[in-house]
Structure 1
Amino acid sequence: MHSSLPLTGRSALVTGVSRRRGIGYAVAVTLASLGASVFLHHHRPHDEHQPWGADDLDAVRAGVRAHLTPGAALGDLGADLADAATIPALVREAHALTGALDILVCNQALSGSDGSILDMTAERLDAHWQVNARASLLLTAEFARLHAPEQEEARRPGERVAGRKPYPAPQGHVFWMTSGQHHGPMVGEVAYATSKAALAGVTATVAADLLELGIVLNTIDPGPVNTGYLDAESADRPLEGIEQHLATTPFGRFGRPSDPAELIGWLATAAGSWIVGQVLTSDGGFSLG
């Protein structure tokens, strides 16, 4: 394996790749640049109702395709991951791209329709839970089943999976995305913060299960990354005082999608494989201010 293409021969599923400004797109481009075949999940209808609007999916595909290395493949599928029934088919399609699935990046997220605790309803909470947390757990379960040995006897719920340890190298990588709810309040985002906190909170528990199969799970907090929601023409929040605040931060800028993407790319290689079951903050020091 060429050192500059450490993911040659690997295949990845990245969810939430609907916009070229997004983190999912940056992750897909990064993994492709490292040699991986990439399967994109997208749900364009979500963005059509957001201030930043929907992107051209053909342009999204072309952008990722331009970074593929010789022999690597690209596939994609649209699905609303709020519908749990779509998840097994998505994982099957991603696996069918190359006959293997080595990397899962759960980047999908629901934006909007949130509020303060006074605005909370069962419907608001359920909507964010379904997309942000439940879908990531179910995607991970399907991914794990691809790597689990066949059992002669049915497992009882909660019974530990017997893998084939020891493993000379990871048998797969899973990445979840959390947010900054553990660093401070996320005002007006109770449902979103709740769903993201669930993933951070259960990371160690699921990582221990997956490690029996040789699968490495880590959760990434990308910090404030401008994916369009902090641009004047497409902001989803007031921007007064933003420039003044940026001037007080260590690097004087918000994160770029490439910042968390490069971290995920590195963690997916052999060099990053000794890091397991962690919630990692990649925010340029924002949380230290």
Structure 2
Amino acid sequence: MTERVALITGVSRRIGIGAAVARRFAAAGYRLQLSGLPGYDDAQPYGGDPDGVPALLAELTACTGDPDRVRYQAVDLGLPDAPAELVAAAVRGHGRLDVVVAVHAYSTRTPLGGLDAAEIDRHLVVNVRATLLLAEAFAAAFRADSGGRLVLFSSGQRLGPMPGELAYAASKAGVENLTRQLSPLLMPRGITVNCVNPGPTDTGYLAAPDRDVVARLFPGGEWGRPDDAARLVEWLCSPDGGWISGQVIDSEGGFNRYV
């Protein structure tokens, strides 16, 4: 089997970045191992997408023409064995693994004065520990001598404060640092490592008037779209992206958080 195989985490809502990356990869001919935790989104203020996973799988299957090319597994990445199990499932189901795109994230409100130790730990476990274990499992399973890609996701916390999400900001700073730590370790094995900060992206988590307030901080007056991030990920995972590694890429459409 020589077709490229990608594992994408954080896939549950059709409007999400993970789903947009999956669409791009399916159209490009990848075999896909997808994972997510729909129950997490269901519990968030913005709500989940009850038909999201079945509808997305049907869409991707129609694109690929083969249901065996797209597999899905609901996984809680807070469990210590979950990252390795996901990588093993990808190799078992598709015969190899070439690309990992870690879109998953855990985020709840954690302001100063309202911090909870268990909630801080949950952010660090899902966003940092699971990402590091995922990278280790991927490196152990990768069998080619080049063409491997690990793409992580940040949120631009390095560019400005996030006072209501202190635990999330701290954990995503850890993800950015992992990018720089892992790149010199994995590039000799044929795997590039990069991190994408997509900026505010319209995945339905804000409603008007808050959504309109944020839109005015973009010079073009519009939010980023999930496919904006997906296009960048697709390029990083292509042969043309092979010279880029160890970078945190701010793809924010000119977003000005200081207006």
TM-score (norm 1): 0.83
The answer for the alignment partner of 1:46 in structure 2 is 40
Match of 2:8 in 1: 14
Query: Which of 231, 237, 253 does residue 262 from structure 1 map onto?
Result: 231
- How much has 1:248 moved relative to structure 2? 5.1
- CA shift for structure 1 position 126: 0.5
1:37 corresponds to: 31
Q: Does 1:283 align with 2:231?
A: no
1:68 to 64, 69, 94: 64
Please give the alpha-carbon distance, in whole angstroms, between the structure 2 residues aligned to 1:264 and 1:69: 23
Specify the alignment match of 1:122 in structure 2. 117
| 1:171 Cα offset (Å) | 3.4
Match 2:197 to one of 217, 221, 235? 221
C-alpha contact 1:14 1:24 (8 A) present in aligned 2: yes
* Distance in 2 separating the partners of 1:47 and 1:248: 26
CA distance in 2, matches of 1:22, 1:248: 21
Runs of 4+ displaced beyond 3 Å: 69-72
**Cα deviations by residue, 1:198-229 (Å, 9 ceiling, x for unpaired):** 01123111111001211111001010001111
1 CA distance for matches of 2:236 and 2:121?
Answer: 31
The structural deviation recorded for 1:69 is: 6.3
The structure number with the bigger radius of gyration is 1
Whole-Å Cα distance in 2 between the matches of residues 147 and 102 of structure 1? 7
The one-character-per-residue Cα deviations of 1:35-83 (angstroms, maximum 9, x if unpaired) are 1111110211101111232221211211222332679711111110001
More displaced stretch, 49-58 vs 262-271: 49-58
- Confirm or deny: 8 A CA contact 2:153 2:195 kept in the other structure: yes
2:147–2:239 contact (8 Å) kept in structure 1: no
Counterpart selection for 1:206 from 173, 178, 182: 182
Aligned counterpart, 2:169: 193
Q: CA 1:146–1:66 in structure 2 vs 1: closer, same or farther (change >3 Å)?
A: same
Letter in 1 for 2:96: A
Structure 1: any 5+ residue segments left out of the alignment? 1-7, 149-163, 233-238
Q: Deviations over 1:1-25 (max 9, x none)?
A: xxxxxxx810000001101011100
Partner-residue secondary structure (3-state), 1:76: strand
AA of the residue aligned to 2:173: A
Letter in 1 for 2:140: R
Cα deviation per residue 1:133-170 (whole Å; 9 max; x = unaligned)? 1111111110000127xxxxxxxxxxxxxxx9xx5xx3
Pairing partner for 1:97 from 87, 93, 98: 93
1:241-280 Cα shifts (integer Å, max 9, x gaps): x435534522211111001111000110001111111000
Gaps (5+ residues) in structure 2?
none
TM-score by length of 2: 0.92
Root-mean-square deviation (CA), in Å? 2.0
Secondary structure of residue in 1 paired with 2:175? helix
Determine which of 60, 74, 80 is the counterpart of 2:76.
Answer: 80
Distance in structure 2 (CA, Å) of the matches to 1:67 and 1:231: 31
Moved more, 114-123 or 184-193: 114-123
Q: Is the 8 A contact 1:35 1:72 kept in 2?
A: no
